[in-house]
Chain A
Amino acid sequence: MTGLAVDIAFWTFAVAAAWFGWRVFRTDSMVRATFCLLASFLNVGAIMVLLLAEYLGVAMFFMMSVEMVVMAIFMVAFMMNPAGLNPMEMVHQPRAAIAVGIGAAVGLGVVAVVADLPPAALLDEAGTIRALGNELMGASMLLMEVVGVTLVATMVGAVVLSSASGRYGSADTGSVPPLLDPDDPDSRPDLVSADGEGDAHAGHGGHGGHGGHG
Chain B
Amino acid sequence: MTIVTVLLASAVLLGLGTWGVLSQQSFVMIMMGFELAINGVMLAAAGVWRFTSGGEPRGQVLVIVAMLVMAVEAAIGFALVVAVYRARQQDTTEGIAELSR
Contact = CB atoms under 8 A, between A and B. Distances in A.
B36 A209 contact: no
A191 to B, nearest CB: 12
Nearest to A21: B16
Nearest to A139: B58
User: Is chain B's interface secondary structure helix, strand, loop, or mixed overall?
Assistant: helix
A143 B43 contact: no
Interface string B79-94: 1111101111111111
A157 interface: yes
Interface in A136-195: 136, 139-140, 143-144, 147, 150-151, 154-155, 157-162, 164, 171-172, 175-178
Contacts of B39: 17, 21, 40-41, 44
Contacts of B99: none
B80 A25 contact: no
Contacts of B28: 30, 71, 74-75, 78-79
B58 to A, nearest CB: 6
Interface residues of A, number: 101
Contact of A213 (B63, B65, B70, B95): B95
A85 interface: no
Contacts of B49: 51, 53
A94 B23 contact: yes
B100 interface: no
B77 to A, nearest CB: 9
A8 to B, nearest CB: 10
A134 B4 contact: no
Contacts of B79: 157-162
Interface string B47-84: 11111111101101101110110111011101111110
B6 A210 contact: no
Contact of A161 (B4, B58, B71, B80): B80
A208 B4 CA distance: 46
Given A154-B72, A162-B83, A78 B23 contact: no
Contacts of B87: 172, 175
A48 interface: yes
Interface of B: 1, 3-29, 31-33, 35-36, 39, 42-43, 46-55, 57-58, 60-61, 63-65, 67-68, 70-72, 74-76, 78-83, 85-95
Given A40-B39, A101-B16, A161-B76, 12 more contacts: A10-B1, A18-B16, A21-B17, A33-B32, A90-B29, A92-B94, A101-B19, A119-B3, A127-B55, A154-B72, A161-B79, A162-B79
23 contacts: A14-B9, A17-B39, A21-B16, A24-B33, A37-B32, A41-B39, A44-B39, A48-B46, A53-B60, A90-B24, A90-B26, A92-B93, A97-B22, A100-B19, A101-B16, A107-B11, A118-B52, A120-B54, A122-B50, A128-B57, A161-B82, A209-B89, A214-B94
